[in-house]
Chains A and B, each alone.
Chain A
Amino acid sequence: MGGEVQASPPSSTTMPAAVALRGITKRFPAVVANDGVNFEAARGEVHALLGENGAGKTTLSNILTGLYRPDEGTIELFGKPTEFQSPRDAIDAGVAMVHQHFRLVSPFTVAENVVLGDHRDIGRNFLLRPRAIEERVAELSRRYGLGVDPRAKIWQLSVGEQQRVEILKALLQDARILILDEPTAVLTPQEAAALFETIRTLAADGRTVIFISHKLHEVKAVADRVTVLRRGRSVATVPAADATPRSLAALMVGREMELGLRRARGGEVGSPVLELEGVNADGDRGLAALTDVSLSVCAGEIVAVAGVAGNGQRELAETIVGIRPRTSGTVRVAGRALRGGDPRTAIRAGVGFVPEDRLGTGVAPGLSVASNVVLKSYRRPPISRGPLLYLGRIRALAQRLMTSYDVRASGPGVPAWQLSGGNLQKVVLAREFSGGPVVLVAAAPTRGLDVAGIETVHTYLHEAAASGVGVLLISEDLDEILSLADRVAVMFEGAIAGERDAETTTPEELGLLMAGGE
């Protein structure tokens, strides 16, 4: 019997976990962001961190990258207890993070960006030798199949390529633990597939990849195991193979959810309420951002505009609502042509707009919820008469809308910046819907919202269409588009690359259009 050894596999006894977080608690003035979170990831593992917004994913990754210090709990890296005094300690310990919003200097080359902030490898030297850096970057890029030209300038690269530069940066810092924060949010389905390939290569190389997401099918596609966070607590860690999107969603939200419910289509579609004909407009830098865009939305219809970020969707929305002047073309609302570059006539014509940038454009962050609710209606009775405002009516209206849209805040006097993303979006929606819109332009209305918030926004959009509003939904999320829209127009480099019936198209077909292929 002496030959018999314990049943446990050798790896678990000889190899400690790459990352082990135990009982991590982090408190902020109003919330406990992490409450006794446990998390463990092995060497060579792709471990997904799943959770709604506000579940504590970001706080946890900030703790792991040394940005925050936990109030309680321990961090162990490769079996050694570790305390980070600063982000630099984390980098030295081999932890790197690829942020959702890239930290790249756009006029610099790839090589320069990669070496920026590196103090271990080639960037340590006082004098930089560009040639040597470029070779080093090219070598790393080859080894992991990243295919990035080290001499290209960042602004010349696509979003997917920029992301690979971020990964290169982490690799040059010899990151053994790589955190990717919602990396697919800005990618086409094809680019996302390539990223998953890279992730698998990194893991095969013995690196640990922590993949933060709230997209369930991605988590299933790429991860070995999944840890689900809910309200700051780690509720479960499950092998990805055993999980279903349904079971993960239930863990995330704490109740059963209806997933991927398609909107019942084929309702009555009325006459066109929004028509664009040959619209051209310039971008912020004075270059053409929209070329000959023609589009129409009928009453009661949801038309989606799909596309990779930065292909003119933002400019399209701004041009329709008059924030951005057109260089040519016409925009008609309910048959009447709108004056270009004049948001006020668009508002009067009944164009509602849920902007991409909620805090800062959609609301004035420093002002109260009540003020933000009347941001557009303050000009007319009953809110004002002549030059005077009726403060009491503003408050009452805000109170009423906060109740009917379930905005969670301590009162209408609370400044808007204190609201969570979901509540803020409800304030914007409440205002836009209460204005009785003919057309509603919604740009990325669910970005950054949690599952419950997304559900709410979708319901409202759905109801708006059902009540006869023409909805133009601009989104990068194909799942959202396919579940909500009647028609999909795909934008590529400022033009409509194609229009498809949402009922019959597939994500692959749309992805191809989004990438400029026909």
Chain B
Amino acid sequence: MRIERRLHQPWWLVVVVPVVSIVVAFALTALVLLATGHAPLHSFRRLFDAGFFAEGALSESVISATPLAFTGLAAAVAFRMNLFNIGGEGQLYAGAITGATVGLLMAGAPSPLVIAGMIAAGAVGGAILAAIPGLLRAYFSTNEIITSLMLNYVVGLVLTYLIFDSHSYLRDTSGFEASVFPQGKILPDEATWSAWTVNGLVLPLGFLLAIGLAVCVWVLYTRTRFGFEVQVIGDSARAGRYAGMRTRRKIIAVMCLSGAVAGIGGASQDGDFRHQLDPRGLQAANYGYTGIVVAALARYNPFAVVLVAFLLGGLQNAGFTLQGADFPAGLVGVMQGLILFSALGGELFVRYRVRLDRGLRTATTPAPELAP
């Protein structure tokens, strides 16, 4: 048996392989369930009911999916240029900090203005943070994986400091309860992002914004000069330089764009769902890291990112709902891991093909005479 690189990728592979990967992931999860003494089909059924089919489940899943769509898009934007921004987590925190700050500062202004201000602030916060590894990469060839990853911890600590270890502007210091249980100031009503209800499905502004961003990213990357340059540089930086592209600027721009998307995700957490700066909740959720998984599963396609975010969000939501004595608490985590594992394994079959070796065969034709 041997593995060969495919010269042609049949179009159906791109569809078939992910579907088969998911089926394999479910089969593997079923094995885990059987081994731990649970009925697989029953557990799956409950999972899907809770995640997608029960009343109100879809709306809950959209809430879980929204931050993942942002961080997934952020990762996809950078990864497409072979720029491995692992800092979506920190950039989301940064956006949450700046978003909440502006939301509090603009109290009293008309709501649409406040919301716009928060979105802009979130984008700027995330972009500034992402610019640091971007600049280091562009001018000192520093590995952006390490710098962006380390900044996650830095911002995580800043976030904790702002609420738990200081009397910052963002901390609620009004009453007795707030001094015993530190928490962020509650944002004013104007800073609550709008939501629309369609047939009982609640669509928060953040989710719609994520879809809009996915469209923008797609247009930017496939239809513009900027996107063309990103593609070329991502494929071969030398070819980009040869063609007269300013590779450094492009690295910084893409990092900032990626950070801005994650930052808006952070602002959406403030405005859509939490209505305060919530260090514990944000840090427990691991949105940034899960976003990398989302981007990988979506093969960096922005539309697929939204879809995958929705599916993983649904699973997560189901996990929260069902957690209890009769439902294995780690199941959702195990499934996520297995889905990623199968999907990355499936990649192999998209790019390569496995051929059974027929072994050596002896020639039956005699050697022709050598020419004089």
Contacts and interface: CB of A to CB of B under 8 A. Distances in A.
Most chain A C-beta atoms within 10 Å of own C-beta, residue among B6, B239, B371:
B239
B236 A365 contact: yes
A387 B232 contact: no
Nearest to B4: A29
Contacts of A399: none
Contacts of A346: 244
B180 interface: no
B36 interface: no
Nearest to B222: A391
A33 to B, nearest CB: 13
A80 B365 CA distance: 19
B367 interface: yes
Contacts of B244: 322, 342-344, 346-347, 376
Contact of B239 (A29, A36, A70, A363): A363
B363 A378 contact: no
A378 B371 contact: no
Contacts of A342: 244
A73 B225 contact: no
Contacts of A29: 4-7
B54 interface: no
Interface in A58-76: 69-74
A182 to B, nearest CB: 24
Interface stretch (B43-51, B268-276, B302-310, B354-362): B354-362
A367 B232 contact: yes
A361 B245 CA distance: 12
A172 to B, nearest CB: 30
B223 A371 contact: no
B241 A323 contact: yes
Given A70-B360, A364-B231, A389-B223, A38 B240 contact: no
A423 to B, nearest CB: 14
Contacts of B367: 20, 22-23, 38
A391 B223 contact: yes
B370 interface: yes
B235 A418 contact: no
B242 interface: yes
Nearest to B244: A344
B368 interface: yes
A83 interface: yes
Interface in B330-367: 358, 360-363, 365-367
A237 interface: yes
A130 interface: no
Contacts of A211: none
Interface in A229-275: 236-239
Interface string A349-383: 00001010100111111110001001110110000
B224 interface: yes
Contacts of A1: none
Contacts of B6: 29
A127 interface: no
B20 interface: no
B243 interface: yes
B238 interface: yes
Contacts of A365: 235-236
A36 B362 CA distance: 11
Contacts of A23: 363, 365, 367
Contacts of B363: 22-25, 36, 72-74
Contacts of B239: 360-364, 375
A36 B244 CA distance: 48
Interface residues of A, number: 52
Contacts of A374: 228
Contact of A40 (B4, B243, B360, B370): B370
Most chain A C-beta atoms within 10 Å of own C-beta, residue among B7, B225, B240:
B225
Interface string A318-330: 0001110000000
A373 B105 CA distance: 52
Contacts of A20: 367
A270 to B, nearest CB: 26
A7 interface: no
A360 B365 CA distance: 43
B161 interface: no
B281 interface: no
Contacts of B236: 360-361, 363-366
A20 B224 CA distance: 58
A323 B235 CA distance: 18
B352 to A, nearest CB: 11
A38 B371 CA distance: 11
A481 B4 CA distance: 40
B226 interface: yes
A358 B181 CA distance: 64
Contacts of B372: 238-239
A378 B244 CA distance: 11
The 10 A-B residue pairs with the shortest CB-CB distance in the complex, in nearest-first order = A23-B363, A344-B244, A364-B235, A343-B244, A366-B235, A236-B371, A364-B239, A237-B370, A22-B367, A73-B363
Interface of A: 20, 22-25, 29-30, 36, 38, 40, 69-74, 83, 236-239, 321-323, 342-344, 346-347, 353, 355, 357, 360-367, 371, 374-376, 378-379, 384, 387-389, 391, 418
19 contacts: A20-B367, A22-B367, A23-B367, A29-B7, A71-B358, A72-B360, A73-B362, A73-B363, A74-B363, A239-B372, A323-B241, A361-B236, A362-B239, A363-B236, A364-B235, A365-B235, A365-B236, A374-B228, A388-B224
Interface of B: 4-7, 222-228, 231-232, 235-236, 238-244, 246, 358, 360-363, 365-368, 370-372
